[in-house]
Amino acid sequence: QTGPVIDMPVPASFNDITQDPSLENYIGWVWYEKEVLLPLRWLQGDPAPRVLLRFGSAHYYSIVWVNGVQVVEHEGGHLPFEADISSVVQGSPGSLCRITVALNNTLTPHTLPPGSIQYMADKSRYPKNYFVQNIKFDFFNYAGIHRPVVLYTTPAAYIDDITVTTTSSDSVAVVHYQVAVAGSTASSLSLSLRDQEGKVVATGDGPVGELKVLNPNLWWPYLMHENPGYLYSLEVRMQAQLGRALLEDVYTLPVGIRTVHVTSSQFLINGRPFYFHGVNKHEDADIRGKGLDWALIVKDFNLLRWLGANSFRTSHYPYAEEIMDLCDAYGIVVIDESPGVGIKLPESFGNKSLQHHLAVMEELVRRDKNRPSVVMWSVANEPASELPPAAHYFKTVIAHTKALDPSRPVTFVTDANYALDHGAPYVDVICVNSYFSWYHDPGHLEVIPLQLTAQFENWYKTYHKPIIQSEYGADSVPGLHSDPPMMFSEEYQQAMLREYHSVLDQKRKEYVIGELIWNFADFMTNQGTTRVLGNKKGIFTRQRQPKAAAFLLRDRYWKIANESSCLPPVITSHSHFL
């Protein structure tokens, strides 16, 4: 023990929990410890069950011990990892089981996201051994055990993995499945697919096969169908003989039947053109930082549906599985993004970084491959893709992701010049971030029509691929008003959105397939002269209260939904129809 021991809730970031300013910006190792008593039935039997310890995520480098025995190491946040701890705990039934976690949140040029440690050598200006963590991304580098930690069991022989893909025509759909069993070489598998009423609509057996569903209910996005997010449940049942014991393992997987296809100018879901009218988000809130919070999650989904948003991007890292479950259930379409944000330094494009990025994509695809809400993978956000090594880097990462999952398009989000971007040749959809009249020509709204039109036309004539405006927006301090509009006022945020929307309305008739506002809600960042307690580009405050721009966007999104939908028009206020 090298420092004070304090209570720390899990899941939560540790940064904002105390009054200690050194913990707020702490970089380095922290230690978590907890003792639990395992049920005796977990530790007995022939064969005894497997006991597993699973972390939803921890930032960023984790080493885990159980009763002083190291059981797992994991590099990277935002994704789950687990350890089989059976051999450690089964020798001592009835005694407490001590779980110890060492976490290090240091970011280097080879982590994802990358960063660098800078030591300040000038002794006249800085204390001895003084250093700062440099990052090239604009959100606070929260750390801690951010998602639930669970102990669970499986039989000694168990279902290890399931992969599902779907195809459909008018009257019949096919659910292709692949099931991996571990712990036994002689097992049998039976599968049954149930609809939402619990009726069995298809059955199968064996590790690989297909289930045919007549007159299927397709998985449709929110506002595209009166019954969005339709989920079947696939029950996979394994039986295996191990010694004298007959073991059984059952896993139920939600399955949405839907197809995704990209043309040179459209994004098709179930063969129908889909327009992304959505948001970029962050896992970020007062006090808990990036810690999972069910009340906040449900509030955010209620706000998304109130807004008429049909989609979001998991900027700039994979979100909690609990969030993804609700996207599947509510029909919210997701661009699932890796933690590849802030890849700016030349050394972050080397082989060490590339190998880690490939491993992260494997973890992400394994976690989210069966989700109908996930329609596209994003491997990075705003990398320095104008650097020559970016060509090999993104060609490799995108090819690897497609090999892992041939069923989905792959992109990354760029802010590079269209003529200089070495990664863009390898994406299926062009995703562009731009902040005309904010970071460029600040205060000059009048340049937006010209600059945004040129942006779209240059990208399209170069690549002939559909385009998403994946970020645009302006900071507004709630309650700050100015007419004529001035930067940081609620009016300026609205005015910028209107200018973007008028160009988007022209280009969405051609090849622009989506618009994602930056950002859904205000969020915390590092301190800096352009950040007043964080980034204020949210259309909602950090406490999830609407700014003026939220109502503007709500009117727009419901109008777009009513144009493209076969649903009856929706009244979005008491006073007028859209």
State both tokens at 342: 């802030």
What is the pLDDT at residue 554? 98
What is the residue whose two structure tokens read 């700016």? 344
**Of 105, 124, 154, which one is at a domain's C-terminal end?**
154
pLDDT at site 93 = 80
Residue 37 and residue 121 share a domain: yes
Same domain flag for 33 and 144: yes
Q: What's the CA gap between 93 and 71, in Å, rounded?
A: 18
Residue 567 domain flag: no
Residue 490: active-site member:
no
- Give the model's pLDDT for residue 6: 95
- CATH number of domain containing 113: 2.60.120.260
Residue 64 · residue 149 · CB < 8 Å? no
- 191, 141: one domain: no
| 283, 221, 264, 349: CA torsion to nearest 10 | 20
Identify residue 518 by its one-letter amino acid code.
Answer: W
Residues 150 and 202 in one domain: no
pLDDT of residue 170: 78
Domain membership flag for residue 101:
yes
Distance CA 378, CA 468 (A): 12
What DSSP state is assigned to residue 564?
A: H
Residue 104 lies in domain: 21-154
Please identify which of the residues 82, 283, 337, 382 carries the catalytic annotation: 382
d(CA 262, CA 19): 51
Q: Are residues 124 and 236 in the same domain?
A: no
Asked, for residue 170, whether it belongs to a domain, the answer is yes
Same domain, yes or no: 88 and 179: no
> Residue 343 corresponds to which tokens in the numbers above?
């890849």
In a domain, 335, yes or no: no
Q: Under the phi-then-psi rule, with left for phi > 0, alpha for psi from -120 to 50, and beta for the rest, what region is 94?
A: left
Q: Which residues contact 289 (CB under 8 A, 6 or more apart)?
A: 12, 13, 14, 15, 16, 140, 142, 144, 146, 524
Domain end call among 209, 238, 255: 255
In this prediction, residue 1 carries a pLDDT of 57
Mark the ranges of the chain whose per-residue pLDDT is less than 70: 1-2, 565-578
> What is the pLDDT at residue 375?
98
Give the domain-ending residue among 121, 138, 154: 154
The amino acid sitting at 109 is: P
Q: Among 243, 185, 249, 207, which residue's Cα sits nearest to residue 52?
A: 249
pLDDT for 564 equals 77
Instruction: Give the count of domains, the chain.
Output: 2
pTM listed for this prediction:
0.95
Residue 198 is assigned to a structural domain of this protein = yes
In a shared domain, residues 195 and 123: no
Same domain, 196 and 231: yes
Is 356 within a domain? no
User: Is residue 163 located within the same domain as residue 95?
Assistant: no
Q: Are residues 70 and 83 in the same domain?
A: yes
The encoded tokens of residue 157 equal 């022989």
* 390 within domain boundaries: no
Q: In this structure, are 105 and 145 located in the same domain?
A: yes
Same domain (yes/no): 132, 185: no
Q: Which helix (H) or strand (E) holds 390?
A: helix 390-404
Q: What is the CATH number of the domain that holds 164?
A: 2.60.40.10
Characterize the bridge pairing of strands 311-313 and 276-280. parallel
Does the residue 498 lie in any domain?
A: no
